[in-house]
A and B are shown apart, each in its own frame.
Chain A
């Protein structure tokens, strides 16, 4: 009996001891976003505040518009030429430590923001350097053979030239249209195409936000959400804007798998132009709901300086990365508190 008891006691000591004897070596203090503090001897994994070494810079993408190589055609219209190269072998760190095979137009997700004025001739020299067939399908008005659906472009250097007249006015997506379509889109083959009205729009601080996500474990559910690819990016790199300056956001929802997405702005409301096809706003709101490839233009001004959140009010998406901050700096030049909107 003594033997048995000592055996049991011995075994229990073996089980208990390692948990006690783990020496507390080097302590790190770790403060979470909710303010709680924990001490750890290990490593901190915090996709919310830790930066990854990014190849893709959401900050430069935000205000980067590609107007193409311009020339004037004999009939006087402007020709805008672009070269877009598709690849599908790139592995990108999309969140700290998470490496995912992205399929890219010109090396990034999203592809370049193509911008033209209504009536311009747009010519896209498309080169497919991927290992699969790819195309570019533009939303907008163009001839059937320029639709990028029935003209698959072969892998390893296949070429195609898309040419059409830019229109209608607004903000449109473009994306690959090879089957299985969901796979080609979800891997990142998409971008934004902006058609400006001939008379232009009022001067503003303009930016592009493509709402997207990544299903990194291929279970047809997104693991990460973002505005412009990198989860939580604009949370730890707030977008700096000025008070009393008109902000114009071209927003395009390219999320796959989830039926809807939305955009909520804090401390303000915005004028919303669905698809950007009209010059008169349809809504004055702080919340729009967007289905797949649904898009529009948002315009707003902040009266008060400070930090303002913007995020999906489908909170699941914001807790998985689709959240950002506008840092509004006081703008002495335009210090008139009156607002064009909502008064």
Chain B
């Protein structure tokens, strides 16, 4: 009996391995003796200029080999005029390798520039910069400046939003469901917003070989799944004491919003860094108004528990402070790839939070998600976000 059991186990393992072995065999064949079969077409070299920095009397372009074959950087130009340059660490780029091309050039602030890089077969790749602005250098003043912006955009509005708590506390169950659904609507809008931003950044600065849109989709789903799993554990733990459940939900919401605000901070920092913020005060006011709604999202679930000021403030910080970190990273060490990743993680987190809220409304209420308060709350949430987003 045991023997047959063992042999059947062996069969299972074998049947699992056999297809895999064939895959390996096929790959060995295709890379080895069968290589000629697929040796068709001409692989075209490709490089992507991912970033352009304007420093003192110098333009610096970060170049990545995003094609299928290795390339050699042989020439740099500014506005299609050949310029001598230095390439660090060297001019040979393997697949996905990056190099820094330093072009001594007396550039003028706020003027547009096109930076071109030519490779050994004479193909020229270029990137347009709308307006040259000095690259931000890591300094205490600037770090404080970004911290202040992050505070205005992230912490203060969220805290103001939390002040709705007493109001939400006093209203009827129907109206409460309206506000919870409103929160979900607000968040859904933010999730779409992050995805749009992530796809924009990848279209603009990531090479086609990264499959930008699919990268965003993958990271959104992974982030959602990760938080869905760990969030569920958190709520189950909280179940032991009834009081803590709203806190757990509010905590998840504030983490989701925090990740989103991190992305927002990245965008602001990068915009300041790239000099593309012309009406920065106006923009910051817009973001602040927009983010006040995020406070409501945290306040809504918390309103059913005991008033816990300390916890509430902590959640406001969790939701708000990442804007500061985002602004630092966006301003000082901006990289389009990390931006795309963080924005996608943020939207995945928000989708998870929406699911949690909807579940809660369903459990709390009458197992009904199509009541007038829920539907109208959701719709109003989206609308409010859309209208305040016009300000940004």
A residues within 8 Å of B by Cβ? 1, 4-5, 8-9, 11-12, 15-16, 19, 28, 30, 32-34, 36, 38, 40-49, 94-100, 214, 216-217, 223, 231, 316, 319-321
Interface centre among A33, A95, A98, A321, by most B CB within 10 Å? A98
Distance, CA A272 to CA B213, complexed state (A):
61
Contact A42 B88 (CB under 8 A): yes
Closest 6 CB pairs between A and B? A216-B122, A97-B74, A42-B88, A46-B84, A40-B86, A319-B81
In the assembled complex, B389 has its CB within 8 A of some CB on chain A: no
Distance, CA A97 to CA B318, complexed state (A):
53
Question: Taking the nearest CB of chain B, how far is it from the CB of A92, in angstroms?
Answer: 11
Contact A217 B318 (CB under 8 A): no
21 cross-chain CB contacts under 8 A: A1-B314, A1-B318, A4-B258, A8-B322, A8-B325, A9-B325, A15-B329, A15-B333, A28-B86, A32-B104, A34-B104, A38-B86, A38-B104, A42-B90, A43-B91, A45-B73, A45-B87, A47-B74, A97-B72, A99-B122, A223-B124
Q: Do A36 and B57 contact each other (CB < 8 Å), given the known contacts A19-B333, A43-B91, A223-B124?
A: yes
In the assembled complex, B224 has its CB within 8 A of some CB on chain A: no
Instruction: Return the CB mask of B256-295 against A: 1 if under 8 Å, else 0.
Output: 0010001000000000000000000000000000000000
Distance, CA A4 to CA B316, complexed state (A):
13
Residues of B within 8 A of A15 (CB): 329, 333, 335, 338
Contact B81 A320 (CB under 8 A): yes
Main secondary structure of the interface of A (DSSP, over half): mixed
Known: A1-B317, A46-B85. 4 other contacts (CB 8 A): A16-B329, A32-B84, A47-B84, A316-B80
In the assembled complex, B76 has its CB within 8 A of some CB on chain A: yes
**B109-123 interface (Cβ within 8 A of A):** 118, 120-123
Q: Do A217 and B123 contact each other (CB < 8 Å), given the known contacts A4-B258, A319-B82?
A: yes
Residues of A within 8 A of B333 (CB): 12, 15-16, 19
Contact A97 B120 (CB under 8 A): yes
Instruction: Return the CB mask of B86-109 against A: 1 if under 8 Å, else 0.
Output: 111111000000011010101000
Residues of A within 8 A of B102 (CB): 38, 40, 42
Distance, CA A120 to CA B317, complexed state (A):
94
Contact among A30, A45, A216 for B91, CB-based, below 8 A: A45
Q: Do A99 and B121 contact each other (CB < 8 Å), given the known contacts A4-B258, A316-B81?
A: yes
Residues of B within 8 A of A214 (CB): 122
Contact A12 B328 (CB under 8 A): yes
Contact A12 B85 (CB under 8 A): no
Question: Taking the nearest CB of chain B, how far is it from the CB of A42, in angstroms?
Answer: 3
B residues within 8 Å of A by Cβ? 57-58, 72-76, 80-91, 99-100, 102, 104, 106, 118, 120-124, 255, 258, 262, 314, 317-318, 321-322, 325, 328-329, 332-333, 335, 338
Contact B84 A99 (CB under 8 A): no
Residues of A within 8 A of B74 (CB): 45, 47, 95-98
Distance, CA A98 to CA B121, complexed state (A):
6
Contact among A12, A44, A316 for B325, CB-based, below 8 A: A12
Residues of A within 8 A of B72 (CB): 97
Who on chain A is nearest to B342 by CB?
Answer: A11
Contact A30 B81 (CB under 8 A): no
Who on chain B is nearest to A319 by CB?
Answer: B81
Residues of A within 8 A of B89 (CB): 41-42
Residues of B within 8 A of A19 (CB): 333
Contact B124 A231 (CB under 8 A): no
Residues of B within 8 A of A48 (CB): 82, 84
Distance, CA A4 to CA B322, complexed state (A):
9
Residues of A within 8 A of B262 (CB): 8
Who on chain A is nearest to B315 by CB?
Answer: A1
Q: Do A45 and B104 contact each other (CB < 8 Å), given the known contacts A8-B325, A97-B72?
A: no
Contact B120 A98 (CB under 8 A): yes
Distance, CA A100 to CA B75, complexed state (A):
14
Question: Taking the nearest CB of chain A, how far is it from the CB of B206, in angstroms?
Answer: 16
Contact A45 B84 (CB under 8 A): yes
Contact B76 A45 (CB under 8 A): yes
Residues of A within 8 A of B258 (CB): 4
Residues of A within 8 A of B82 (CB): 47-48, 231, 319-321
Question: Taking the nearest CB of chain A, how far is it from the CB of B120, in angstroms?
Answer: 5
Contact B255 A4 (CB under 8 A): yes
Contact A217 B122 (CB under 8 A): yes
Residues of A within 8 A of B314 (CB): 1
Residues of B within 8 A of A42 (CB): 86-91, 99-100, 102
Question: Taking the nearest CB of chain A, how far is it from the CB of B115, in angstroms?
Answer: 14
Q: Do A12 and B329 contact each other (CB < 8 Å), given the known contacts A38-B58, A96-B74?
A: yes
Contact A40 B318 (CB under 8 A): no
Question: Taking the nearest CB of chain B, how far is it from the CB of A100, in angstroms?
Answer: 5
Contact A44 B86 (CB under 8 A): yes
Residues of B within 8 A of A99 (CB): 120-122
Distance, CA A320 to CA B102, complexed state (A):
19
Contact A33 B84 (CB under 8 A): yes
Residues of A within 8 A of B99 (CB): 42
Contact A223 B104 (CB under 8 A): no
Distance, CA A216 to CA B119, complexed state (A):
10
Distance, CA A48 to CA B91, complexed state (A):
17
Distance, CA A217 to CA B123, complexed state (A):
5
Contact among B58, B90, B122, B322 for A223, CB-based, below 8 A: B122
Question: Taking the nearest CB of chain A, how far is it from the CB of B244, in angstroms?
Answer: 16
Residues of A within 8 A of B80 (CB): 316, 320
Question: Taking the nearest CB of chain A, how far is it from the CB of B61, in angstroms?
Answer: 12
Residues of A within 8 A of B317 (CB): 1
